[in-house]
Amino acid sequence: MLASVGFLLLNFLALSAASTYPNYHAEFHDDDEEISDSAKWWQTGAFYQIYPRSFKDSNGDGVGDLNGISSNLPYLKDLGITATWLSPIFTSPMADFGYDIANFTEIAPIFGTMADFEALMVKAKELDIKIILDFVPNHSSDECDWFKRSAAGEEEYKDFYVWHPGRMVDGKRQPPSNWISVFHGPAWEWHPGRKEYYLHQFVKKQPDLNYRNPKVREAMNNVLRFWLAKGVSGFRIDAVPHVFELGPNAQNEYRDEPRNDGDNDPNDYGYLQHIYTVDQPETIDLVYSWRAVLDEFQRENGGEDRILMAETYSPIEIVMKYYGNGTAEGAQLPFNFLLISELTNASNAQAYAMTVQKWLQYMPAGRTANWVLGNHDKPRVGSRLGSDRVDMLNMLITTLPGASVTYQGEELGMTDVWISWKDTVDPSACNTNPSIYEQFSRDPERTPFQWSNAKDAGFSNANKTWLPIGPDYQVVNVEQENQTPLSHLNIYKKLLSLRKESKTLQQGATEVKALNGAVLAVKRMLQNEQTYITVLNIYDGVETVNLQQFFNDLPQELQVVVISGRSIVKEGDLVKTDSIQLQPKDSLVLRSTSTFYSGYSSGGQFPLPWSIYLGLGQVALYLSYRQILTLN
């Protein structure tokens, strides 16, 4: 009798666990497979973009600088940031605010000195924050020594840039092709000294380098090596798709690009279909060659991975090639801009789900996803998708698999600032006119970071900052939000802390589903670990959803881990999975309260830990032994 009780007890406990603590799926790992802890630092990294001009001014000139960044690295540490990418800090006449580089291995005086940079590297190392630099390969400044020598016809530099004598039309010299600059107007500029046109896909003070010249490739490889030797952990590659353009034909003629019938302004970049000036096949191989430079440096010097992050808004089939192929490695993180380019304020939950799934479905096996909400070239997420969606979007990018990328201020919920034509400084806008400049300006998302409610939002003590301060700085700032428990800032901190402590969020499998038109849900699951569910109510109605209808292996209750400022539940509450109620624009991160499960799903059975089976087996044997003694 006692033996039978022991046997029944063992089965009862196993079945009880099966119905109460669902956790993982059979397809993840074999029962005896160990979960790897060897993820690279960047694979689940929290990346943070700093736009140096607008982060912190340390010397009162109204422009941010390196010492301002150094003094506030503890802020990034407090956030939980893994690495910070700095927009260009190199010597430049600032025609495009640092993206027109005169010397690729010097620090611009407006940002400080090389000694300041080296001090920043020391501070970052102390805090275990990695530094990523901007690498701008497509062009230099026309004030770069290379360009001056090329324009003068020096043999060593003669073909460092893309030059052409132009074409004769009705006896008059014309540009070599009809190509248009990204920043409005012709992409060819006549140089009176050399008496030839040079190509500039951006402003005319940014001549395009000629990567068909091996000397140019090696010169830029040496730029990478220089900064690697300074201790940086990698590079964000700027404007990658533009690096190559279709070369001239046998008659030394460039082809015109075809018209885009949807645009009637002949000076607008959208006027043409850019089939010859972006996404040329050689570009991918060039990125692979830069990865080889980083890998060579690592082999020779040791240490952790040095990485490439590639900026490309190309079609996704092309973006995926940047990861690498069967024989060559590419960028570890080609930027995923789908959340920027494919979602609008009107997008529903199905659109969100499709956007997330698109990247995961196209991404080659074994690669790492990344999720970018904003940058210095695009309207801030709070302005683009709604300031009342900031928390849910930060929940989304920090609980999806892979790395997250945050643009400075978006952890606070900073929004775009209206800039008058008089105060506009962005060349993309200044090359237009007062009636249309706003649709081209990037100044609104580049305004100074808001540290406090003090003068100039704590950014500077100058009489005038390089761009105006946001009018909401007295409420939206670090000091204020640090004191508010459910501020955007504190929610962001909790999310990064949660990802650092959760193996599931770092390594688990992912399901992304629209539960209806308003609610998006993300499930993360990993064997022997807690399951997480992130739910977002994208719209303005109260929503009640049954997670059991959409996801297998969920318990009857989940625990609330992170809430938004709109939630009526509290952290630590238990909520029924068949009736999760979400307030308008509400979002929650939930998790299971147990890590083990035994039952059937997807044709597989999941055992409890062997220690539990062993203990229960010993109980059963003991009861059987007692039964034998009783019978004797």
Q: What is the pLDDT of residues 288-332, one digit of tens each?
A: 999 999 999 999 999 999 999 999 999 999 999 999 998 999 999
187 and 264 co-located in one domain: yes
Predicted confidence (pLDDT) at residue 476 exceeds the cutoff of 70: yes
Strand 604-605 to strand 557-563: parallel, antiparallel, or no bridges (unpaired)?
A: unpaired
Secondary structure class of 581 (helix, strand, coil): strand
> How many other CB atoms are there within 10 angstroms of residue 256's CB atom?
12
CATH number, residue 559: 2.60.40.1180
> How many other CB atoms are there within 10 angstroms of residue 199's CB atom?
25
Predicted confidence (pLDDT) at residue 454 exceeds the cutoff of 70: yes
Segment 7-64, tens digit of pLDDT: 444 343 333 333 222 222 222 233 333 344 568 999 999 999 999 999 999 999 999 9
Is 498 within the bounds of a domain?
no
pLDDT at 613: 44
Segment 194-244, tens digit of pLDDT: 999 999 999 999 999 999 999 999 999 999 999 999 999 999 999 999 999
pLDDT at 622: 57
Mean pLDDT of 274-296: 98
CA distance 496 to 74: 15
pLDDT at 603: 34
pLDDT at 39: 81
206 and 321 co-located in one domain: no
CA 582, 387, 333 angle in degrees (round to 5)? 95
143 and 133 co-located in one domain: no
Segment 512-552, tens digit of pLDDT: 999 999 999 999 999 999 999 999 999 999 999 999 999 99
462 and 516 co-located in one domain: no
Buried b (16+ CB within 10 A) or exposed e, 310-320: bbbbbebebbb
What Rg do the C-alpha atoms of the chain give, in angstroms?
28
pLDDT at 615: 56
CB 6 within 8 A of CB 620: yes
359 and 230 co-located in one domain: yes
Predicted confidence (pLDDT) at residue 71 exceeds the cutoff of 60: yes
- Closest by CA position to 50, among listed 98, 79, 88, 104: 88
The residue among 603 and 290 whose pLDDT is bigger is 290
- Closest by CA position to 586, among listed 392, 398, 399: 392
435 and 516 co-located in one domain: no
> How many other CB atoms are there within 10 angstroms of residue 342's CB atom?
15
CB 505 within 8 A of CB 404: no
Domain region containing 436: 45-137+215-244+275-488
pLDDT at 29: 32
pLDDT at 24: 26
Concatenated DSSP letters for 531-570?
A: -EEEEEE-SSS-EEE-GGGT-SS--SEEEEEEE-TT-SS-
Residue type, 526: L
Is 158 within the bounds of a domain?
yes
CA distance 626 to 632: 10
Is 601 within the bounds of a domain?
no
Mean pLDDT of 581-589: 98
Q: At what angle do helices 2-20 and 610-631 cross, to 10 degrees?
A: 160
Among residues 232, 255, 274, the one where a domain terminates is 274
pLDDT at 11: 42
At CB < 8 A and 24+ separation, what contacts does 269-275 make? 269/180, 269/181, 269/182, 269/183, 269/184, 271/180, 272/178, 272/179, 272/180
CA distance 268 to 183: 8
CATH number, residue 415: 3.20.20.80
Segment 418-443, tens digit of pLDDT: 999 999 999 999 999 999 999 999 99
CA distance 437 to 428: 8
Q: Per DSSP, what are the bridge partners of residue 49?
A: 85, 407
CB 126 within 8 A of CB 74: no
CA distance 341 to 544: 30
Active site residues: 238, 311
> How many other CB atoms are there within 10 angstroms of residue 619's CB atom?
15
CA distance 430 to 443: 11
Which conformational region is residue 239 in: left (phi greater than 0), alpha (psi within -120 to 50 degrees), or beta?
A: left
Two tokens at 208?
Answer: 């395009």
Is 444 within the bounds of a domain?
yes
Is 357 within the bounds of a domain?
yes
Mean pLDDT of 100-109: 98
Domain tally, the chain: 3
pLDDT at 630: 53
Two tokens at 30?
Answer: 């074999």
Q: 9: buried, middle or exposed (CB in 10 Å: 19+, 13-18, 0-12)?
A: middle
Segment 155-198, tens digit of pLDDT: 999 999 999 999 999 999 999 999 999 999 999 999 999 999 99
334 and 357 co-located in one domain: yes
Query: Residues 623, 625, 631, 632: is their CA dihedral positive or negative?
Result: negative
CA distance 568 to 520: 19
CA distance 249 to 185: 24
CB 274 within 8 A of CB 260: no
68 and 145 co-located in one domain: no
288 and 378 co-located in one domain: yes
The alpha-helical segments, DSSP class H, found in 390-514 are 390-399, 427-430, 478-482, 488-501, 503-507
pLDDT-derived band at 629 (thresholds 50, 70, 90) equals low
CA distance 16 to 9: 10
Is 73 within the bounds of a domain?
yes
pLDDT-derived band at 356 (thresholds 50, 70, 90) equals very high
Segment 362-417, tens digit of pLDDT: 999 999 999 999 999 999 999 999 999 999 999 999 999 999 999 999 999 999 99
361 and 482 co-located in one domain: yes
pLDDT at 107: 98
Is 602 within the bounds of a domain?
no
The mean of the pLDDT values for the chain is 91
Going edge to edge, which strands form the sheet with 509-514? Answer: 509-514, 519-525, 532-537, 587-591, 557-563, 574-576
CA distance 512 to 361: 12
pLDDT-derived band at 594 (thresholds 50, 70, 90) equals confident
Is 607 within the bounds of a domain?
no
234 and 262 co-located in one domain: no
SS3 content of the chain, % helix, strand, coil (to 5): 30, 15, 50
pLDDT-derived band at 595 (thresholds 50, 70, 90) equals confident
CATH number, residue 152: 3.90.400.10
Two tokens at 120?
Answer: 């920043």
- Closest by CA position to 141, among listed 103, 171, 109: 103
pLDDT-derived band at 601 (thresholds 50, 70, 90) equals very low
Total length of the chain: 632
452 and 563 co-located in one domain: no
